[in-house]
Amino acid sequence: MFDIRIMKDEAAFDTAAAWEIIGQILKKPDSVIGLSTGQTTKNMHGIVADIFRQYPFDVSRVTFFNVDELTNLPLSYPGCCRTMIENQLTGPLGIPEERFIMPATLSDDFEKECRDFEAALAAKGGADLQMLGLGYNGHIGINQPGTPFGSNTWVSPMDPVFEERVRRETNVGPDYPLGGLTLGIRTIMHTRRIVLIAKGEHKAEMVRLMLKGPVSEDIPASVLQLHPNCTFLLDAEAGKYVADLA
């Protein structure tokens, strides 16, 4: 029913996830590849960079972007998605700015930033691959529970737990607006291939709800059940409740 790959441990998961990116580049050197940031993806980005250093492969035509970005924070904040991706992957691979598509973090018109972000991806022919993390509450990108499945790129409220951490780290008070500019669910679903990645026991229950529960806007990731070319890549702990589906 679903394309589910459950890896034996975290190391095997990180390696398999890294090779999804490398394999896409080798198969289609001018690929447009979407990334995600966070603890789930840090190691896999490092593996891609390490393999590139040891065995250089052609990245002269590949384009990267990230599925989302924080708003109203300077790029000097180390938690900005662009900064993390540059440090972890596009910098080590030598990807120039014109082939790293990201919205601005500071803007007087974020609605225009959303339109421009979508237009830049469309001008490249759309995304070939999206590596997509799974939020603890089922969010994908920064599309929180309740986001309409028909949503295009927009500025979403951040998860309250994550927002509290960002405010603490940046010393930004509660009256200063923060948000997350994210590809909408409709936009994500137009990606030609998606790899949903999740690891750790703390993700196991949400993986179960995503794959065994109904498709519902209450769990945004559940919409991936309907994507025609989606792989669910899990480690053993995250996949322990869905092993019967693999």
- CATH 3.40.50.1360 correct for 3-152+185-245: yes
**pLDDT one-digit tens code per residue, 208-217:** 999 999 999 9
Round to whole Å and give the CA distance between 70 and 29: 29
**pLDDT one-digit tens code per residue, 55-111:** 999 999 999 999 999 999 999 998 999 999 999 999 999 999 999 999 999 999 999
Torsion of CA 106, 108, 110, 111, to 10 degrees: -170
Closest by CA position to 33, among listed 13, 17, 46: 17
Q: For the chain, what are the domain ranges?
A: 3-152+185-245
Q: In what order do the strands lie in the sheet with 68-71?
A: 68-71, 179-182, 154-156
pTM of this prediction exceeds 0.85: yes
**pLDDT one-digit tens code per residue, 218-246:** 999 999 999 999 999 999 999 999 999 98
CB-facing half-sphere around the CA of 98: CA atoms within 13 A? 3
Give bridge partners of residue 63 from the DSSP assignment.
32
What radius of gyration, in Å, describes the C-alpha atoms of the chain?
Answer: 17
Q: In Å, what is the CA distance from 116 to each residue of 17, 25, 42, 181?
A: 29, 25, 27, 12
**pLDDT one-digit tens code per residue, 176-220:** 899 999 999 999 999 999 999 999 999 999 999 999 999 999 999
Average confidence (pLDDT) over 110-138: 97
Token pair recorded at residue 245: 């589906």
pLDDT score recorded for residue 171: 86
Please state whether beta strands 63-66 and 193-198 pair in parallel, antiparallel, or not at all (unpaired). unpaired
Token pair recorded at residue 112: 């225009």
